[in-house]
Amino acid sequence: MAGQSYASGNRNRSRARDAQSINILAGKAVAKAVRTTLGPKGMDKMLVDGLGDIVITNDGATILKEMDIEHPAAKMVVEVSKTQDAEVGDGTTTAAVLTGELLTKAEELIEKGVHPTIISGGYRHAAEKAVEILKTITIDVSTDDRETLMKLAKTALTGKAAGEYKDFLAEKALDAVLSVVEETNGNISVDVDDITIEKREGGSILDTELVKGLVIDKERVRPNMPRKVENAKILLASFAIEFQKIEKSAEIKITSPDQMNLFVEQEEKMVKEMVDKIVASGANVVFCQKGIDDLAQYYLEKAGVYACRRITKSDLKKLSRATGATLFQDVTDIKTEDLGAADVVEERDLHGSKMTFLLGCKEAKTASLILHGGTTHIVDSLKRALNDALCVIGVALEDKKIVAGGGSPEIELALRLRDYAATLKGREQLAVGKFAEALEIIPQTLAENAGLDPIDKLIDLRAQHEQGNKNMGLDVYTGKVVDMYDNNVLEPLRIKTQAINAATEATVMILRIDDVVAATGRGGAMPPGMPQPDMDM
């Protein structure tokens, strides 16, 4: 029996061939949704949520995250894109498109009678071989090779909303990454979380600036506090600097004005004691996660302390890492030796909004990018583009390996894998061959999105790689097959290896499913996103 779908009791099931077909169809649909965004000539998507908020982007991970996807197999393709974004920061569309094409080719083999287990084994074998081949076509890169790193950043920014400013933005991204690079025993590590990105509407993209320090999107709580503090001693408080309210419900009866005055004086005394402890520790800058009441603000102002309130948890973590400060849970925990340090803490006005700058931080290397743009949508897309560029430079420096772009690695892999498949015995050979075919979806899609004939371009690319020109790829602007290294189109090796491995694992997982069982909702209806079963048995 090829397959069956049926309802039984409060269960709905799709089995065998039906389950595989439905899952493959769902995976292909997700890949198709983002396929037109691939490459410098890719189109953008406008995503509108239930509240009417709009996101305009061609970033695969963002599109798939914002889409309301309910089918469980389709969600697995979304996870591939999320993993790619977390591991590398770029190549998310590539990973999703490759997953969809691997499923398409697997379906062709299933229809010919090849068992999914054989296909899964062949795909895994092909992925291992592909990663092995990739390592033979890499180019070395180092922190001193600024020119190559700039090309990497420009490639990541090409095709994004801020593409026309890619020279300017690539330089900012590169300087930001180089300022947080840490080298230990010859190994380089780059934590992109050390780079803070703040957005500001107003001004031009060219007003975007890099600050060699930490920027917090908060201002002083009172204007008469010092605007600038040198040799800052920084206290991080997760507690509120205010009168401690009684947690349990209680009733206080006041029968005379004197009692009222005593009650108020006691409140003031408690707040004053809190502030005195903070000042006695030597702290002249306070960042508080919670509130600072008016009286505490007054005492801090009198003591010449720079204070900010309602600091987010993520910003507190960055402050702790950068300045070496301990996050205090209670005023009684404060110790002078646990304060953080920075050369300068000051408030600056940026296009009408005020922010706090910390320069010369004591501990970790840190940098901040302040993005400017005409509208909210522009600065949002600018942030996504710059994040891609930062991640790309970071992983390239960590791995010290890059490859040419423009579809050249995929064509080279397809060529070499076909040759390798011919050396294998059994049906696994067919799966490796289909894997090779699937890889060609990347240059094919680049050609389609640029309005070029994909068949002609694939033929030209194969011919060049047959002659040993490993870096030949597709220039989508001229429509010619050129050397992508000479054309300054470069990508980190990890983009390709991660995309291949993640796409293969997701495809194998989907192929191995032969029974989909879902509990029905109330009233016997199938949960949304799941196939409605065929009730004819």
Q: Catalytic site residues? A: 59, 92-93, 388
Q: What is the DSSP string of 301-351?
A: HHTT-EEE----HHHHHHHHHHH---EESSGGG--GGG-EEEEEEEEEEET
**φ/ψ of residue 273, rounded to 5:** -65, -40
Task: Tell me whether strands 228-237 and 285-288 are parallel, antiparallel or unpaired.
Answer: parallel
Q: Are 7 and 509 in contact (CB under 8 A)?
A: no
* Residue count (the chain): 537
Select from 410, 414, 413, 525 the least CA-distant residue to 473.
410
CB count within 10 Å of CB 111 equals 10
Determine the Cα–Cα distance for residues 289 and 309; give it in Å rounded to an integer: 6
Q: Assign 476 to helix, strand or coil.
A: coil
**CA angle at 294 for the pair 289 and 296, rounded to the nearest 5°:** 65
Select from 70, 54, 73 the least CA-distant residue to 62.
54
Determine the Cα–Cα distance for residues 74 and 93; give it in Å rounded to an integer: 14
**Crossing angle for the helix pair 493-511 and 72-87, to the nearest 10 degrees:** 160
User: How would you class 419 by CB atoms within 10 Å of its CB: exposed for 0-12, middle for 13-18, buried for 19 or more?
Assistant: exposed
Buried b / exposed e along 485-513 (16+ C-beta atoms within 10 A): bebbbbbbbbbbbbbbbbbbbbbbebbeb
Element (H, E) at 443: helix 441-449
What is the rounded (10 degree) CA torsion for 199, 202, 205, 210? Answer: -50
In this structure, which long-range contacts are made by residues 329-337, counting pairs with CB atoms below 8 Å and at least 24 apart in sequence?
A: 329/238, 329/239, 330/239, 331/237, 331/239, 331/241, 331/274, 331/277, 331/278, 332/277, 334/235, 334/277, 334/278, 334/281, 334/283, 335/281, 336/281, 336/282
Determine the Cα–Cα distance for residues 76 and 425; give it in Å rounded to an integer: 31
Select from 196, 193, 356 the least CA-distant residue to 287.
356
Q: Which residue has the tokens 């061609």?
A: 58
